[in-house]
A = this chain, B = another copy of it.
Amino acid sequence: MSQYTITVIKNEQPKPKPASDQLMFGKYFTDHMFIQDYSEERGWHNPRIIPYEPISLDPAAMIFHYGQTVFEGLKAYKTKEGQIQLFRPDKNMERLNRSNDRMCIPAIDEEFAIDAIKHLVHIDHEWVPDTPGTSLYIRPFIISTEPYLGVSPSSTYQFIVILSPVGSYYKEGINPVKIAVENDYVRAVKGGTGEAKTAGNYASSLKAQVIGEQEGYAQVLWLDGVEKKYIEEVGSMNVFFKINGEVITPMLNGSILNGVTRNSVIELLNYWNIPVVERRITMQELFDSYQKGELEEAFGSGTAAVISPIGELNWDDQKMIINQGKTGEISRKLYDTLTGIQYGTEEDPFNWIIKVK
């Protein structure tokens, strides 16, 4: 049980809401935001829901210099009955605290944070879009705010949650994408911050992504930073391969993000008695299985796109066309089931859904 009480200041000048068919990812924001402060003396305190407004920080605030920060991403979905519901927010809050630990940020109260998110989503419930594939993206994040240029953990923080109505990631449901294997740049390395959801991992990924896009690829496939042999992630998603009837995903090793959708995919495959294994897999093994005709499907998993089939994978100019460039059967089934659970049209045997209000 939480000992916190959230102060609410309603926004008296609500913004016009964008039309459902004009929604993009992360461009529009709702009328309210949640903020809570941290100081060494008081711990986390003063939780409040206030009108969405600029954050004002000293230019020496540590977030601007040393990037001590963590974030999360999850969504609220509206069912056809009008119920608003969250998908596994407990997993996101658990991970937020694991990220906090790696980044030397004080832990939050996970249960309270879920309550705060539910409260905020409820206040902005009119912003949850209801056309197919749309949802309300929820972005909790913590920033270091102490105005001090020494390299050390901040003594003050803000925990903030903002909300953004978002469209379907792919306009026509799911659609296979072209991916390039990245050989020069590295996203993360063992002993680094790859497992934490922290800004620096994303900043370091930009250059490879920009080059990849110029060459016509939607995302890059990251290899491990040590040997550049083992497959880690694709873009900002986890990655799965179906080889000879078995689904394989890189095992968590400290540099791979422990994705909530990744975990849900593994649980669903187990539930369906489809063989799934978490292990190390090299690019060479993947390519060999492709040449033998055993690579049946490949897909990324993440909150934004849910399941993103990989139709083409380019490794050092060796082009692999997977499943004839089409969405595979397992990818489709996972997408349909996960979105079905999220939108309330499928049974939820795992109790993944948390209702708002």
Contact = CB atoms under 8 A, between A and B. Distances in A.
A9 interface: no
Contacts of A33: 59
Interface string A137-154: 101010100011111110
19 contacts: A26-B149, A27-B148, A27-B149, A29-B58, A55-B64, A56-B56, A64-B69, A65-B141, A67-B67, A67-B69, A67-B203, A104-B210, A151-B205, A185-B192, A188-B192, A189-B189, A198-B200, A225-B225, A226-B226
Given A137-B149, A209-B151, A55 B59 contact: yes
Interface in A38-79: 52-61, 63-69, 71
A63 B66 contact: no
B225 A60 contact: no
Q: Which 4 A-B pairs have the closest CB atoms?
A: A200-B200, A26-B149, A67-B199, A186-B191
A97 interface: no
A308 B321 CA distance: 56
Interface of A: 25-27, 29, 33, 52-61, 63-69, 71, 102-104, 137, 139, 141, 143, 147-153, 160, 162, 164, 184-193, 198-207, 209-210, 225-228, 235-236
Given A27-B148, A65-B71, A203 B199 contact: yes
B205 A203 contact: no
Contact of A203 (B53, B69, B228): B69
Given A26-B149, A188-B192, A189-B226, 14 more contacts: A29-B58, A29-B147, A33-B59, A55-B58, A67-B69, A104-B207, A151-B202, A152-B209, A186-B192, A191-B225, A191-B228, A192-B204, A200-B200, A200-B204
A228 B202 CA distance: 24
Given A26-B148, A33-B59, A63-B63, A204 B199 contact: no
A285 to B, nearest CB: 21
A106 B67 CA distance: 20
Nearest to A58: B54
Question: Which of A64, A162, A184, A186: most chain B Cβ within 10 A?
Answer: A64
A188 B55 CA distance: 30
A52 B59 contact: yes
Contacts of A67: 67, 69, 198-200, 202-203
Question: Which of A160, A190, A206: most chain B Cβ within 10 A?
Answer: A206
A90 to B, nearest CB: 22
Nearest to A191: B186
Contacts of A58: 29, 54-55
Contacts of A188: 192
Contact of A26 (B25, B60, B68, B205): B60
Contacts of A143: 64
Given A141-B65, A192-B189, A149 B25 contact: yes
A33 to B, nearest CB: 6
Question: Which of A54, A63, A66, A103: most chain B Cβ within 10 A?
Answer: A66
